[in-house]
Amino acid sequence: MANRLRYTYAVVRPSSALEHVLSDVRGVANASVALVRSTTVAAAVSSVPEEEFSEQALKDRLEDLDWLETVARAHHSVVEVLSAHTTVLPLRLATLYADDAHVREMLGERRQTFTALLDRLADHVEWGVKIYTEPSNETAPSEPPVGGDLSAQSRPGRAYLQRRSDQRRAREDVWRAAEEMIRRIDAEARDLAVEHARHRLQQGRLAGGPGENVANDAYLVPRHLAEEFRDRVLRSTEGLPGLRVEVTGPWAPYSFAEPAAPDTREGAPPQ
Amino acid sequence: MTTERDRDLPDRRIALIDLLDRLLSGGVVLTGDLMLSIADVDLVRISLRAVIVSVSGQMEELWTPVVRAPLSEEGRTQ
């Protein structure tokens, strides 16, 4: 029997109902998922083969985007199952312990932190809000340069500069609209969300979607306001040309699963 | 201006990049027994740079920690 490691997905408050739910769930490496308890908190864990998840093995496998995607989706699917039943503190990808005893030790050491976080995040969901510029239409008709076509042919330099300046103006318009959109979303969020997190902008091959990502935010919203939040964000952003907004979620509170930084505590967040 | 409602299709696949935003820069960071969490994110940044970063040649950090701020009536520090 090969050595096994404990892949940890999330911290929750344990219950027999939750154990029952997990009994037919499969996680990373198609392994079953169990709760490791330490009094009032528990970690959802899978027993995974060391040859695949040891430090050295991970270094090699994390180079492999397909492997990374498989593990990320499996991790997320376990978090989602738990989220349907209880408050969840998702852990970062690929957090591994040697055995259950070490998981228990970690839970014991951080029980107070976890309990406070679980209390703070109870009955909240995370929404992702992304803004994209629509791919620009470079062939938009522009004012003919003074002097008409003849001048455009005889003075290609001027026509070129005119085109450049039109493009720059169009781009400035889009940025102005984006600023306005962010302002509107922020106004809605202040009514409904209790916390805001900013992710890096998405770019590159994985970014998908047409256009350029100009905002990538997450909001922590009380569950009973979740639908209202999404509807109001989508409604508030209507009618701004050249932009597209995408709302993702509701997510488990991934972006808020750490103690709030002390310097951001301007009084207690609204409950 | 178009909008997308992500849950119109129940089995719509979550975009990998949205997932990685949350799994590599969000979530509780524990050291674990293998000292993995932080080191591995760095590793992923480096090893997947070729895949993920656009060819713009920018060497900006992938998956930097999320910047968080409370939203409250008092407003945020500017």
Sign of CA dihedral A57, A63, A69, A72: positive
User: Does A74 reach chain B within 8 Å, measured CB to CB?
Assistant: no
Sign of CA dihedral A129, A185, A80, A9: positive
Q: Cα separation of A79 and A240, whole Å?
A: 36
Are the beta carbons of B37 and A89 separated by less than 8 Å? no
Chain A: residue whose CA lies nearest to B62: A200
Long-range CB pairs of B46-51 (<8 Å, 24+ gap) are B47/A62, B47/A63, B48/A62, B48/A63, B48/A65, B48/A68, B51/A65, B51/A204, B51/A205, B51/A206
- For A213-270, the pLDDT digits (tens) are 999 999 999 999 999 999 999 999 998 989 999 999 999 999 999 865 544 433 444 4
Spatial contact of A123 and A87, defined as CB atoms under 8 Å apart: yes
**Which carries the bigger pLDDT value, residue A136 or residue A169?**
A169
pLDDT computed for residue B57 by the predictor: 35
The total number of structural domains that make up chain B: 1
Spatial contact of A266 and B24, defined as CB atoms under 8 Å apart: no
Please check whether residue B49 lies inside any domain of the structure.
yes
Is the pLDDT assigned to residue A1 strictly greater than 70? no
- In CATH, A124-137+158-256 is 3.30.70.2690: yes
Please check whether residue B47 lies inside any domain of the structure.
yes
Class level of CATH domain A4-121: alpha beta
All structural domains of chain A with their residue ranges: 4-121, 124-137+158-256
**Which carries the bigger pLDDT value, residue B32 or residue A129?**
A129
Q: In a mutagenesis test of the A interface, which of B2, B17, B45 is the best target, namely the one with the most A β-carbons within 10 Å?
A: B17
**Which carries the bigger pLDDT value, residue A124 or residue A96?**
A124
Please check whether residue B46 lies inside any domain of the structure.
yes
**Which carries the bigger pLDDT value, residue B23 or residue A11?**
A11
Please give the residue range of the domain that contains residue B48: 28-54
Res. A52 pLDDT band, cuts 50 70 90: very high
According to DSSP, the residues that pair with A197 across neighbouring strands are A218, B68
Is the pLDDT assigned to residue A95 strictly greater than 80? yes
Residues in chain B with CB shorter than 8 Å from the CB of A247 are: 3-6
Count of helices and strands (H, E) across chain A:
9, 8
pLDDT computed for residue A127 by the predictor: 98
- For A192-218, the pLDDT digits (tens) are 999 999 988 888 778 877 889 999 999
**Which carries the bigger pLDDT value, residue A59 or residue A116?**
A116
Res. A107 pLDDT band, cuts 50 70 90: very high
Res. B11 pLDDT band, cuts 50 70 90: very low
Q: Which of B25, B54, B69 has the CB atom closest to A199's CB atom?
A: B25
Please check whether residue B66 lies inside any domain of the structure.
no
Please check whether residue B22 lies inside any domain of the structure.
no
Please check whether residue B36 lies inside any domain of the structure.
yes
Q: Cα separation of A115 and A120, whole Å?
A: 9
- For B21-77, the pLDDT digits (tens) are 898 888 888 877 764 444 444 444 444 443 444 333 333 445 555 666 666 544 433
Radius of gyration of chain A (CA): 25
